A and B are shown apart, each in its own frame.
Chain A
Amino acid sequence: AQRVTQPEKLLSVFKGAPVELKCNYSYSGSPELFWYVQYSRQRLQLLLRHISRESIKGFTADLNKGETSFHLKKPFAQEEDSAMYYCALRGGGFKTIFGAGTRLFVKA
């Protein structure tokens, strides 16, 4: 079965500190993996996807097939990074599976 697990509901860090939001998945094939972000009072939007191998707003995520993980990292958190972050997986079909989300709070 396809599953996405985000073990932390809330992550609180100080501004300038590194941040890592964890995501583990369960899928037997080669999935597409995404991170979506929802800022306060805004709609859900794509942050990055593993196939692009890009850095967006200083965030990166590496797909680790051995550990079935796709953790989101940023070396220096900013206050404007405070938001809800969702890891998502798409297998071979049309369905996208989302994790329960992690709320990141960056303290001044």
Chain B
Amino acid sequence: GAGVSQSPRYKVAKRGQDVALRCDPISGHVSLFWYQQALGQGPEFLTYFQNEAQLDKSGLPSDRFFAERPEGSVSTLKIQRTQQEDSAVYLCASSPRWDRGLGEQYFGPGTRLTVT
């Protein structure tokens, strides 16, 4: 079956531009996560959705970062006024439920954002 997909796969933005990154989770998956992965580092949690509800946004680094999942399926991560430090791979992951012990996350291929 289809896995998690993300688009675009690569994005180059000039400093100050706004960008929107899209995530299509596996159909029926309740949970959706966004991560930021800087070069040479592990994924760093940004935000979590359970259906359309954003239950944890503690990892968003600034108010320039905004995520939504209005219908509980596709999600968009928006970064306003991009800065060079925003350059990273942005990963999306989904999970069929969220019970303790069933925490496997299925990852997308990521979007590599380069801010010049």
Contact between B45 and A43, CB atoms less than 8 A apart: no
Q: SS class of chain A's interface: helix, strand, loop or mixed?
A: strand
Chain A window 78-108, contacts with chain B (Cβ cutoff 8 Å), 1 for yes, 0 for no? 0000000010101001111111110000000
How far is it, in angstroms, between the C-alpha of A32 and the C-alpha of B91 when the chains are bound?
21
Contact of A43 among B33, B50, B56, B110 (CB under 8 A): B110
Chain B window 30-44, contacts with chain A (Cβ cutoff 8 Å), 1 for yes, 0 for no? 010101000011111
| B48 interface residue per 8 A CB criterion | yes
| B90 interface residue per 8 A CB criterion | no
Contact between B105 and A98, CB atoms less than 8 A apart: no
Q: SS class of chain B's interface: helix, strand, loop or mixed?
A: loop
Chain B residues closer than 8 Å to A96, beta-carbon distance: 33, 45, 103, 105
Which residues on A are within 8 Å of B, measured CB to CB? 4, 9, 32, 34, 43-46, 49, 51, 86, 88, 90, 93-101
Contact between A86 and B43, CB atoms less than 8 A apart: yes
How far is it, in angstroms, between the C-alpha of A20 and the C-alpha of B62 when the chains are bound?
38
Contact between B45 and A34, CB atoms less than 8 A apart: no
A7 to chain B, nearest CB (A): 13
Known contacts A44-B93, A94-B31; can you find 15 more A-B pairs with CB under 8 A?
A4-B42, A9-B40, A43-B109, A44-B107, A45-B106, A49-B103, A88-B42, A94-B33, A94-B50, A94-B98, A96-B103, A98-B35, A98-B43, A99-B42, A101-B42
